[in-house]
Amino acid sequence: MNKKEALTVERLNAADPALAVTEEELARSREKSLTVMDTDVNQVAVGGSIADFHQQPAKRRVRLMAGAGLVATAVAAVVAGVVVTSSMRAPLAEQAAPAATPTTAETDSSSFTPLPEITGQMPTFEANIITGGNGHKAAVSIGKESDFHMDAGSMGTLGLNAGGCLASIAPDGTSEGLIFPFGTRVTETGVVFPDGKSLNIGDEFAFGGGLSPGPDLGVCSPTGAAFLVQSWDPLP
Amino acid sequence: MKVQTEQGDRVELARQKLFLAAHAASHDKVYRYFRRRTESASTAEDLTAEVFRIAWEKCLQGQELSVLMVFGIARNVLRNHHRATARSLNLVQQLELQRTQQLGFDDGTVADVLDRLKPEEREVLLLTYWDGFTSAEISALLNVTATAVRMRLHRARKQLSELLRMDQATEDVQR
């Protein structure tokens, strides 16, 4: 992204209508959007009354009534002299055991597990400069693929900068340094990525990755910064 | 039967927790998403409530919820809202509505220029810079490749920059 585009993005961000959103608005909307939990949406039917929604859900009453009915049946069976209690007690006790000792998390509906933290190995911007048989150079990452994928994009044309290093060449002749992924090889015509895909000098590309904080890549990045390539899908 | 009831309650509790987690993770983003794209706070509030009503239904059906899934619902709800609005408002009212929509701290130039972008490129641009989604997330949300997302974003940014510059040049000439 050049300076003009960066200024455009700043202007776009400043025009964000959501900048005017207040905490009161959010709180009101949060409350409203949570009221759905107070109703059993499966029970909503044409002609139903609102009052019904705030009563105990029908399904639970049915379950309780069914449970009471079965208990009554069991009692009647015992009274009738059918000896089934010895064979039923054990499994009932086994099944009831977990329910009798719910975990703290289960009993407290207001606390839920927080979303997982983002973890993983951050990408390294350190690179070696390798030289192909034809003398072309390329900066290649020294670290294997990291868990963390950056989301910036870099589009351009592969070419050689003034130092003979493979770089992104803009139409006006300026260049931006590239750090190719670990395992990239320099060939006679360009580079071959670790997955076997190749990119030749003169080819256009749209890489995914991120701009390095400015390692010293010598001739491969005379301006200081370089773009670490993390994805290199072909252009659509 | 008591056992079955307790198991049912545990499942219900787990669903509630899942829904609350999804709500906590996505509510504010969803509300702001609607606030940016609809005419008023009350509309944004109604549409947000509709999104979470649908999410709750899905949760009760045993479906997993995620931020992206909630946003998928939000996109559909917004599309339906626009269809309904187009049906109920005549053209004059719509134009008036567009004029009265206020953008952050901009004089309306950015809004005008955004309207001139291709819809698919504008959507990627706004999802990136206003809604804060990554290319990978937008790729999943729009069901296109991450490379296509990056291309659209690149073009949209470039186009927006050029249009804003042209607008500025026209204003300078008029003065």
| Least confident residue range of A179-183, A202-206, B16-20, B81-85 | B81-85
B162 and B88 inside one domain = no
- Find the closest chain B residue to A44 by CA distance: B57
B82 and B29 inside one domain = yes
**Confidence at residue B28, expressed as pLDDT on a 0 to 100 scale:** 93
> How far does the CA of residue B155 sit from the closest CA of chain A (Å)?
11
User: Between A17, A153, A206, which is nearest B103 by CB?
Assistant: A17
Residue B23, domain extent: 1-101
**Confidence at residue A91, expressed as pLDDT on a 0 to 100 scale:** 45
**Confidence at residue A211, expressed as pLDDT on a 0 to 100 scale:** 79
**Confidence at residue A53, expressed as pLDDT on a 0 to 100 scale:** 42
How do residues A77-98 score in pLDDT, each as one tens digit?
656 554 444 444 444 444 444 4
Cβ distance A8 to B19 less than 8 Å, yes or no, reads: no
How do residues A92-138 score in pLDDT, each as one tens digit?
444 444 444 444 444 444 445 555 554 555 566 778 888 888 888 99
> How far does the CA of residue B22 sit from the closest CA of chain A (Å)?
9
Percentage of residues in chain A having pLDDT higher than 70: 58
**Confidence at residue A96, expressed as pLDDT on a 0 to 100 scale:** 43
B39 and B85 inside one domain = yes
pLDDT-derived band at B52, boundaries 50, 70, 90: very high
**Confidence at residue B124, expressed as pLDDT on a 0 to 100 scale:** 93
Mean pLDDT of A190-214: 85
Query: Testing the interface with A: which of B11, B42, B150 to mutate, by most A Cβ within 10 A?
Result: B150
Q: What ipTM goes with this model? A: 0.79
Domain end position, chosen among B101, B130, B160? B101
Mean pLDDT of B129-151: 91
Cβ distance A15 to B104 less than 8 Å, yes or no, reads: yes
B83 and B133 inside one domain = no
| Least confident residue range of B81-85, B122-126, B171-175 | B171-175
Residue B36 touches partner A, C-beta closer than 8 Å: yes
B12 and B46 inside one domain = yes
Query: Testing the interface with B: which of A29, A89, A155 to mutate, by most B Cβ within 10 A?
Result: A29
Mean pLDDT of B129-143: 91
Count: domains in chain B = 2
Three-state SS annotation for chain B: CHHHHHHHHHHHHHHHHHHHHHHHHHHHHHHHHHHHHCCCHHHHHHHHHHHHHHHHHHHHCCCCCCHHHHHHHHHHHHHHHHHHHHHHCCHHHHHHHHHHCCCCCCCCHHHHHHHCCCHHHHHHHHHHHCCCCCHHHHHHHHCCCHHHHHHHHHHHHHHHHHHHHHHHHHHHHHC
